[in-house]
Amino acid sequence: MAAIEVQPDKGQSSRRERPTTLTGSLLRILGLIIFDAFALFFIYLLLSDGYWPLAGIIGFITLVMNYIFLAPNAYPMRWMSPGLAFMLLISVYPILFTVYISFTNFGASNLLPKVQAIEVLGQRTFLPETGATLNYTVFQNDETGEYALWLIGADGNSFFATLDDELEADAIGAGALDADGVPSTIPGWTRLTRAQTVQNITAISQTSFGREETAVQLTGRLGQAAQLQQRFVHDEELDAIVDRRDNRTYFANAETGFFTTEDGQTLTPGFQVVVGLQNYQRFLTDPSFRGPLVRIFIWNVVFALLSVLFSFALGLMIAIVFGRTMPGQRVIKSLLIIPFAVPQVITLLVWRGILNPLEGVVPNMLQSVFNQPVGWPPFFADPIWVKVALIVINVWLAYPYFMLISSGALQAIPTDMYEAADIDGASAWQAFRGLTLPLLLVAVGPLLISSFTVNFNSFNVIYLFNSGGPPMVGTALPAGHSDILISYVYNLAFGRGLALYGYASAITIMIFFMMVIVTIFQHRRMATWEETTN
């Protein structure tokens, strides 16, 4: 009778491969407790400051880490957990945060959460009518390093103000007063020179001196202190900011993200609020914004399309020419690859100098040939000439890439197909159009799609050459004739003093969906070509 071989249970085998000891389990749980404690404390701090999106992703990562290290079926994930955590924090979170702020008023005047905006306003002070202005001299404690002020009022009275008390000269054993009315010595304290005071002015300015009811702070003028009071106080019941100097009340406006009075006056900074689809509506419907955006989008498509078309055509032509027997092929090909090997920033700066209308090589040559004045052609001032220059530069940067991939793709085409075309009497152009190009597009098509995407977001070429100029006239927001969407978004978010992060993020999301639509269309077109070829 044949012996029956019993196969071990996979679950039991797996458990035997990773035995768990009591010490190991305790260490794992202890590590999780420490990790969770730090994570919860960090989340608490973030929520206290109003940064709930970052607190949310930290909380999600914490839950994932606990599941990985506590669930037996998640054992293989433990080795990947650090990389997974960093991926969520560094890659996934910025994308989700960009989507989130596209629905908010996040910008230069609304950078802070509401909690922090209230704190910033609460730090502002004013000098009341009853407040006194005094001259001060800084002393530093020899043991603790804390600061104190010797204060002299307008009436000539003087006293010594520490962090929490006001003392007379006799109480501190002060020495004789000099010509300025300042003690020459105070036991346990060192008088700071003017230079030393300036060096430590930041730390000194952040401190109040004297008793709470009459405390003084440094003013903006060196050598003067005053009994300043908090100007803006938050009223939690009214959800408003009370201006104690002007007796005004600023109510929180959940639509605009500002504290506003009944007559329309506002305080800055404002705070972040969710505005829904307002940024997207502005992008799609507002004529003052839609005007330049339509022109920018059309130029963006033309720039990417012509760059890919001309680069591919030039690279393919060179690949076909050098596909035949020609002396010195390797040397010439190496020289032609140089634009691809040189860093793009250097190449763009060189082109910027070459096309300079005053001293550039190309303008000087064209001026001589066409008998034009100095400054022609206006590669930086005229919208048409700028766009021509940008396409030429982009083709120069990209054609070596297409030359390399075209050379490889051409070598993969069987030579017997060309022999059959010759027997059928096909001309060189007919063989290229009906044989070479279709077979080449099947191999190179996906690369053309990716190249279109790269050129559609070719920020460096636009920004380093002319920063998107020349500027358009009469637009609601600054825009340039050679701006593409990504450079326009950059200027909205980081350039020209705008910092419209919410609106810029909305345009970024729209660019993403545009590229998805274009990519799907081009993939279908490539599939059609492939089916036709097969």
Confidence of residue 525 (pLDDT cuts 50, 70, 90): low
Our CA angle for 356, 307, 292, nearest 5°, is 75
Residue 338's pLDDT is 78
Higher pLDDT, 346 or 515: 346
Give me the mean pLDDT over the 260-283 stretch.
90
Higher pLDDT, 442 or 251: 251
Residue 153's pLDDT is 87
User: Residue 520 carries which side chain, given as an amino acid letter?
Assistant: I
Q: CA distances (Å), 407 to each of 246, 330, 421, in order?
A: 76, 13, 21
Both tokens of residue 169?
A: 């000269």
Residue 231 near residue 126, CB atoms below 8 Å? yes
Q: How far apart are CA 478 and CA 428, in angstroms?
A: 51
User: Residue 445 carries which side chain, given as an amino acid letter?
Assistant: G
Q: What is the percent of the chain with per-residue pLDDT over 90, rounded to a whole number?
A: 36
Give me the mean pLDDT over the 138-146 stretch.
92
Confidence of residue 368 (pLDDT cuts 50, 70, 90): confident
Confidence of residue 136 (pLDDT cuts 50, 70, 90): very high
Query: Number of helices and strands (H, E) in the chain?
Result: 22, 14
Give me the mean pLDDT over the 490-504 stretch.
81
What is the DSSP secondary-structure string of 466-492? HTT-SBPSS-SS--BTT--HHHHHHHH
Residue 500's pLDDT is 85
Strand 240-243 with 166-167, pairing: unpaired
Residue 58's pLDDT is 95
Q: What is the percent of the chain with per-residue pLDDT over 70, rounded to a whole number?
A: 92
Of the listed ranges 2-16, 65-79, 105-119, the least confidently predicted one is 2-16
Residue 59's pLDDT is 95
Question: What domains appear along the chain, each with residue ranges and CATH number?
Answer: 22-101 (1.20.58), 125-230 (2.40.430.10), 284-533 (1.10.3720.10)
Q: For 210-279, where are the E strands, in sequence order?
A: 217-218, 224-226, 229-230, 232-235, 240-243, 248-253, 258-260, 266-267
Backbone angles phi, psi at 137, to 5 degrees: -135, 135
Both tokens of residue 229?
A: 């009071």
Helices (H), 262-360: 278-285, 287-321, 329-336, 338-341, 344-354
Give me the mean pLDDT over the 389-413 stretch.
89
Residue 16 has pLDDT above 60, yes or no: no
Q: How far apart are CA 29 and CA 69, in angstroms?
A: 8
What is the DSSP secondary-structure string of 100-156? HHTTB--STT--B-HHHHHHHHHT-EE--TT--EEEEEEEEETTT--EEEEEE-TTS
Over the range 348-357, which residues count as b (16 or more CB within 10 Å of their CB) and which as e?
beebbeebbb
Confidence of residue 1 (pLDDT cuts 50, 70, 90): very low
Residue 15's pLDDT is 43
Residue 161 near residue 149, CB atoms below 8 Å? yes
Average model confidence (pLDDT) across the chain? 85
Query: How many of the other CB atoms lie within 10 Å of CB of 461?
Result: 24
Counting Cα atoms < 13 Å in the Cβ hemisphere of 408 gives 9
Give me the mean pLDDT over the 178-183 stretch.
87
Of the listed ranges 200-204, 245-249, 439-443, 474-478, the least confidently predicted one is 474-478
Ramachandran class of 51: left when φ > 0, alpha when ψ lies in -120 to 50, beta otherwise: beta
Residue 14's pLDDT is 42
Confidence of residue 34 (pLDDT cuts 50, 70, 90): very high
Q: How far apart are CA 82 and CA 71, in angstroms?
A: 17
Both tokens of residue 346?
A: 């250097």
Q: How far apart are CA 399 and CA 349, in angstroms?
A: 18
Is 175 in a helix, a strand, or coil? Answer: coil
Higher pLDDT, 327 or 37: 37
